[in-house]
Copies of this chain bind each other. A is one copy, B any other.
Amino acid sequence: MNSDFVIASHSLVLLANLPGHMANSEMIAENVCTNPARVRKIMSTLRKNGLVKTKEGIGGGYILNCDPEKTTLSQIYKASSYGSLKPHWCTGDPEKSCVISSNTQVIMDQIFNESELHLQSFFNQITISNVLERIKNLE
């Protein structure tokens, strides 16, 4: 699992909680504890997925472009980390004559794809607002 998903979620929760729902990459990076360039890269993909809007130039930054009550972690996951559940390393070798060795990669691929669907159906139950509430209830 890629940590882009965590950064993306954190950033959106932060924006949702901000008056005006806006912040620039430096402020977000400071809050998330990473560097502005990374934030910009991740926010850029969120923009391409319609979750935020971007404002360039002086006084610019990122503005929430979705309803936090309706937007779920599933959308954020899809935008930021689709396919990252499967480990990079794969077992077996398609060239081998052994049925197991040659076919395990394909089957494990299938299983991870199905797993990701299950994960998404779970993430789909959690909205940005839910996460924000949970955070505030900790206080």
A13 contacts chain B at the CB level, 8 A cutoff: yes
Residue of B nearest to A118 (CB): B122
Partner-B contacts on A (CB < 8 A): 1-3, 5-7, 9-10, 13-14, 17, 31-34, 73, 85-93, 96, 98-101, 103-104, 106-108, 110-111, 114-115, 118-119, 121-123, 126, 131-132, 134-136, 138-139
Which residue on chain B has the smallest CB distance to residue A8?
A: B91
CB-CB nearest 7 A-B residue pairs: A3-B87, A3-B89, A10-B91, A118-B122, A103-B135, A32-B91, A31-B101
User: Are B126 and A119 touching (Cβ within 8 A)?
Assistant: no
A131 touches B115 (CB 8 A): no
- Determine whether the beta carbon of A6 is less than 8 Å from that of B100: no
Q: Would A91 and B134 count as touching, CB distance under 8 A? A: no
Instruction: For the complex formed, measure the closest distance between the CB of A121 and the CB atoms of chain B, giving whole angstroms.
Output: 8
Query: In the complex the two chains form, what is the Cα distance from A73 to B139 in whole Å?
Result: 38
Q: Which of B89, B91, B104, B122 contacts A114, CB < 8 Å?
A: B122
The smallest beta-carbon distance between A87 and chain B, in angstroms, is 4
Which chain B residues border A121 with CB–CB below 8 Å? Answer: 118
